[in-house]
Amino acid sequence: MSKTTSPHSGGFKGQRPIRVLVAKVGLDGHDRGAKVIATALRDAGMEVIYTGLRQTPEMVAAAALQEDADAIGISILSGAHMTVFPKLLQLLKEKGMNDVLLTGGGIIPGDDMKKLNEMGVGKLFAPGAPTHEIAEYIRDWVKNNRSF
């Protein structure tokens, strides 16, 4: 895992920066988008932990707990989103991490996005989504849902 931070504060008054764990789950080896998002979030003042390729949901949940992540961003292009996101939601619940945002993006059909949102997954972003919107969404969610 690698951590990157920006000199700009992505946190709130007197608080640590927002911590976002960015991960690629499964055998999907395309990580350019995940790296672009990780860099954009870092540039927005957040602390970003990028897990690298071929993670399992268990590895992601454990890393998020260890790193005290405020949010988890999953990049998924493999079509396994209806398996990966529900499994991560279950693991986060089991670990008592109910105040951690699970969000992500990739190739996810609109109907599946809606179903995942109804299950408790945060907003999901399609390829080409403006990175400032992703950063804004995470910042707003954390501000409204996390106690520091």
pTM of the shown model? 0.89
| pLDDT value of position 6 | 42
**What mean pLDDT value characterizes the chain?**
90
pLDDT band with cut points at 50, 70 and 90 for residue 81: very high
Angle in degrees, 0-180, between the axes of helices 57-66 and 81-94, rounded to the nearest 10? 40
Which domains occur in the chain, in start order? 2-145 (3.40.50.280)
Q: What is the mean pLDDT of residues 100-127?
A: 97
Lowest-confidence segment of 20-29, 78-87, 121-130 by average pLDDT: 20-29
Give me the mean pLDDT over the 69-79 stretch.
Answer: 95
What's the pLDDT score for residue 92? 98
The three-state (H, E, C) secondary structure of 66-114, written as one string: HCCCCEEEEEECCCCHHHHHHHHHHHHHHCCCCCCEEEEEECCCHHHHH
Name 110's Cβ contacts closer than 8 Å, sequence gap at least 6: none
Q: What is the pLDDT of residue 7?
A: 41
* Crossing angle for the helix pair 32-43 and 131-145, to the nearest 10 degrees: 60
Residue among 69, 61, 68 at smallest CA distance from 92: 61
What is the per-residue pLDDT for 66? 97
CB atoms within 10 A of CB 111: 8
CB distance 42 to 48 below 8 Å: yes
Question: SS3 of 21, please?
Answer: strand
- Residues facing 73 on adjacent strands: 22, 103
pLDDT (average), residues 16-42: 92
